[in-house]
């Protein structure tokens, strides 16, 4: 099959890869119908994370092609969505809603879903069947649910977003934008997008942002306080993963407020005294997207949300190199790869 391999930073190629096979009786093989490039794929692309001939991709929708003997909940031919972490969905951690830290978790990034096919471990726990036949718009949205929507949703949930709340969103990439959509859906009264890019600001408003703050760092924090009677936001979504963005998120949040952080941490060190004084709730990490998938699929298939609008470029899988380049150069927010 054809699949994306990152040979080195900046060097993305579509090559022949071996077809996946069922390795465990709990595996399924899916024919990937769409996949995409994640903001986190840019860390190795830009040389921040090490990479050496690595199969890429962890987001996917597709059709079940083969199933292992123990797979009961999906059948060949089913149209399915799964998250970027395969999980059994039965251990105590999964039952508590933290499937991204399942005792038997398998990171799909190690398998590489930017390919024609993919092995899905723990298929019963991982895959969710989509009812009916999605439209083209719904298809895009289902792909978004696989990671960016589910991650933005978790961030909003972790930040305890709810009716009447003021929400600040640090980061205007796809996950930040999905956090805005989630906050809007969860009933937030005010959603302040921290963004200095006109195109992202427009998308942010489309997804539900009520205010835009262009300032960053201490100035950004001061601006959020100004907009909230000096208190700070009730809920802050952090969707970048840098020292500056974490400090900005914590600083923008009122005492007793909540920070949901989902930007993959790079070089972040939190000072214990600052954290002690801040007195904010912190919850983050790899999002347990699987927890939210049934609800997200329902919202998408009934046209209540349109997260697929975050894809502003669609290319065939064969043009994956251009997809990475467009995201790296900020010409695209999020690129869908079709097969």
266 interacts with a second copy by CB under 8 A: yes
The nearest distance, CB 316 to a second copy, in angstroms, is 33
- Contact at 8 Å (CB) between 302 and 280? no
Task: Pick out residues in 98-157 that bind a second copy (CB under 8 A).
Answer: 98, 100-101, 103
Residue closer to a second copy by CB (options 221, 299) is 221
Q: Of residues 133, 163, 272, 304, which one binds a second copy by CB under 8 A? A: 272
Distance CA 62, CA 143 (A): 9
Residue closer to a second copy by CB (options 25, 255) is 255
The nearest distance, CB 197 to a second copy, in angstroms, is 24
164 interacts with a second copy by CB under 8 A: no
Distance CA 43, CA 224 (A): 29
Unique residue bearing structure tokens 């009933």: 187
240 contacts: CB under 8 Å, gap ≥ 6: 170, 171, 173, 176, 263
Nearest-5° angle of CA 203, CA 207, CA 208?
A: 120
The nearest distance, CB 189 to a second copy, in angstroms, is 14
- Contact at 8 Å (CB) between 317 and 324? no
User: Which one of the spans 121-129, 132-140, 179-187, 255-263 is the region binding a second copy (CB under 8 A)?
Assistant: 255-263
DSSP label at 186?
T
- Contact at 8 Å (CB) between 49 and 335? no
The nearest distance, CB 61 to a second copy, in angstroms, is 25
Q: Which of 82, 78, 93, 88 is nearest to 26 (CA)?
A: 88
Residue closer to a second copy by CB (options 5, 102) is 102
Task: Pick out residues in 232-251 that bind a second copy (CB under 8 A).
Answer: 241, 243, 246
Residue closer to a second copy by CB (options 240, 310) is 240
273 interacts with a second copy by CB under 8 A: yes
Between 68 and 107, how does the x/- string for binding to a second copy read (CB under 8 A)? Answer: ------------------------xx--xxx-xx-x----
Task: Pick out residues in 274-303 that bind a second copy (CB under 8 A).
Answer: 275-286, 288
Distance of CA 220 to the CA centre of its chain: 24
Q: Which of 138, 137, 116 is nearest to 34 (CA)?
A: 116
Q: Of residues 269, 302, 304, 329, which one binds a second copy by CB under 8 A? A: 269
- Contact at 8 Å (CB) between 28 and 79? no
Distance CA 8, CA 40 (A): 15
SS3 5: strand
Residue closer to a second copy by CB (options 209, 262) is 262
Residue closer to a second copy by CB (options 71, 246) is 246
Residue closer to a second copy by CB (options 239, 326) is 239
Q: Which of 105, 57, 110, 88 is nearest to 286 (CA)?
A: 105
Q: Which of 336, 300, 337 is nearest to 317 (CA)?
A: 337
The nearest distance, CB 302 to a second copy, in angstroms, is 29
Residue closer to a second copy by CB (options 71, 94) is 94
Residues that bind a second copy (CB under 8 A): 92-93, 96-98, 100-101, 103, 229-231, 241, 243, 246, 254-256, 261, 264-273, 275-286, 288
């Amino acid at each position: 099959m054809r699949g994306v391999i990152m040979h080195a930073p900046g060097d993305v190629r579509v090559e022949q890869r071996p077809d996946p096979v069922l390795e465990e009786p709990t595996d399924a093989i899916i024919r990937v119908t769409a996949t995409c490039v994640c903001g986190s794929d840019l860390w190795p692309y830009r040389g921040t994370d090490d990479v050496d001939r690595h199969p890429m991709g962890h987001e996917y929708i597709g059709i079940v092609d083969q199933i292992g003997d123990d797979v009961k909940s999906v059948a060949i031919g089913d149209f399915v969505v799964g998250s970027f972490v395969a999980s059994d969905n039965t251990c105590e951690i999964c039952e508590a809603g933290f499937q991204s830290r399942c005792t038997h978790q398998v990171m799909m990034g190690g398998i590489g879903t930017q390919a024609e096919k993919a092995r899905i471990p723990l298929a019963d726990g991982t895959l969710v069947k989509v009812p009916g036949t999605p439209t083209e718009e719904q298809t895009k949205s289902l792909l978004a649910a696989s990671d960016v929507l589910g991650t933005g949703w978790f961030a909003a949930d972790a930040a305890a977003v709810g009716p009447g709340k003021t929400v600040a969103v640090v980061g205007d990439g796809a996950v930040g934008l999905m956090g805005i959509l989630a906050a809007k859906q969860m009933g937030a009264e005010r959603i302040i997008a921290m963004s200095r890019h006109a195109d992202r600001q427009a998308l942010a408003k489309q997804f539900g942002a009520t205010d835009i703050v262009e300032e960053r760092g201490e100035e950004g924090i001061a601006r959020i306080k100004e907009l909230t009677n000096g208190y700070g936001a009730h809920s802050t979504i952090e969707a970048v993963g840098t020292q500056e963005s974490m400090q900005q998120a914590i600083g923008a949040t009122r005492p007793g407020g909540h920070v949901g952080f989902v930007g993959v941490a790079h070089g972040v060190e939190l000072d214990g005294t600052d954290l002690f004084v801040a007195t904010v709730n912190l919850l983050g990490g790899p999002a347990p997207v699987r927890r939210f998938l049934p609800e997200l699929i329902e919202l998408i298939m009934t046209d209540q949300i349109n997260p697929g609008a975050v894809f502003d470029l669609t290319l065939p899988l064969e043009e994956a190199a251009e997809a990475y380049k467009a995201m790296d150069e900020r010409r695209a927010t999020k690129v869908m790869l079709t097969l």
